[in-house]
Structure 1
């Protein structure tokens, strides 16, 4: 926006049109050009500065330091949604466009089964069972608090569910290899999230933004050094099978069996969204660490169907798991959901 000043007005006066006489004017009262008129003193009261228009809410940057009041790991504040949205890929929970839907469906039709078998064959290799066995300072309770804090953090940055799942996988796999001090556990969480975003997202959060969520209790050098240590400990093996991948595969399978009808698409989308909320709860609970991601995806989808009153064709998607194992996982998930109804509702509103 260009604001005109008094200097601009004086310059424009020099190019004013020729003299004209005012109609009906008397002698001695001819209208003269501005340059012939005596300059009147300019009062400071009449000079006004250009009015600056207020920017829209989406253009205002929100100070992230004000979101957190404590850097301790025992109390993780939930960040408020940021009005500023950076360019990114749409989340899986958002409704994609028709072209994106057709592209995803075409990819699943051509490569879905091959990708599923490849991920399934590598599942046990990337599964961090009993990741806290060698951690003297990290407990299941502190892990639950950190993962529960990372859930609103990843939504605050509008990250995909795949990024969140991969971040938890990276964190747990690192806990198997290296003892971590309790005062550095939160730094491990945000560093794992940053690595996962670099692997999955087009635009990852800035280091400064992540550190501000930790009340600037850590420095950029500490985060970068820990990032290098994690990558070396994991030997740069980051493409781990996650619950997000298997949930997406199960959803596409159900769409294929339902001939991609509109009614089936709506039911599958509802079930997948609810299954994600259940999966987030299960990833925060260390008791579910022993279940592989594919089994968690199957049981989360099945429980979501039951709670939503939708058809539950679990027998068509179970692959290599005994019925007793599935029933045990489903029973534990039901208990987890019944004990966390308020938390589940809070996650749904985020």
Structure 2
């Protein structure tokens, strides 16, 4: 590396984290990591499923362009859905919510997280860093500071370990997961 280059430190896969006991714990934890009710019908008056899909697509593009860890996008979508299931939001603030959820998820999963300033640039400066930081506090409050969510992405390594024949399909599996996360999903 040149002295001006930075090699990002990534965690190594830990075989101890893909045991059956860990999988059972994750399945139990997943129950509390999901939105609690069909929020498009019960909570949100302005936000529609197609709006969620648009902001989710934008969020995925930002994560890809910034080369975020694979876990950032699913975790950000988890925060977005959980927030929308408990707090009404004006549609004019949906991109702010998406940017802030990426901000929080990158803090949880990245060694060098996305900055508020960088995320504001991705909104064409339609939001200010101060707004993002205020939204961060609101999200943390509404989610009761519970940011250690289990997402579908967390299960991929467990399933691939159990079915090694799928290892060759890992990229397609992750792509399908990203695609499904962009779709509006409601609990039954």
The normalised TM-score by structure 1 is 0.49
Unaligned runs of 5+ residues in structure 1 are: 1-58, 60-84, 92-99, 256-263, 292-350
Shift of 1:86: 5.7
Shift of 1:156: 0.9
Shift of 1:253: 1.9
CA distance in 2 between partners of 1:154 and 1:276 (Å): 14
CA distance in 1 between partners of 2:100 and 2:47 (Å): 17
Tell me what 1:122 maps to.
Answer: 29
Tell me what 2:93 maps to.
Answer: 184
Q: Aligned with 1:126: secondary structure?
A: coil
Tell me what 1:88 maps to.
Answer: 8
Tell me what 2:172 maps to.
Answer: 274
1:249 aligns with 2:131: no
Tell me what 2:51 maps to.
Answer: 142
CA distance in 2 between partners of 1:216 and 1:105 (Å): 40
Tell me what 1:169 maps to.
Answer: 78
Distance 1:86 1:142, change over 3 A: farther
The normalised TM-score by structure 2 is 0.89
**Is the CA contact 2:99–2:119 (under 8 Å) kept in the aligned structure 1?**
yes
Unaligned runs of 5+ residues in structure 2 are: none
RMSD: 2.0
Tell me what 2:187 maps to.
Answer: 290
Distance 1:216 1:131, change over 3 A: same
Q: Aligned with 1:240: secondary structure?
A: coil
Q: Which has the higher contact order (CA 8 A, sep 6+)?
A: 2
**Is the CA contact 2:56–2:77 (under 8 Å) kept in the aligned structure 1?**
yes
Distance 1:233 1:157, change over 3 A: same
Q: Highest Rg: 1 or 2?
A: 1
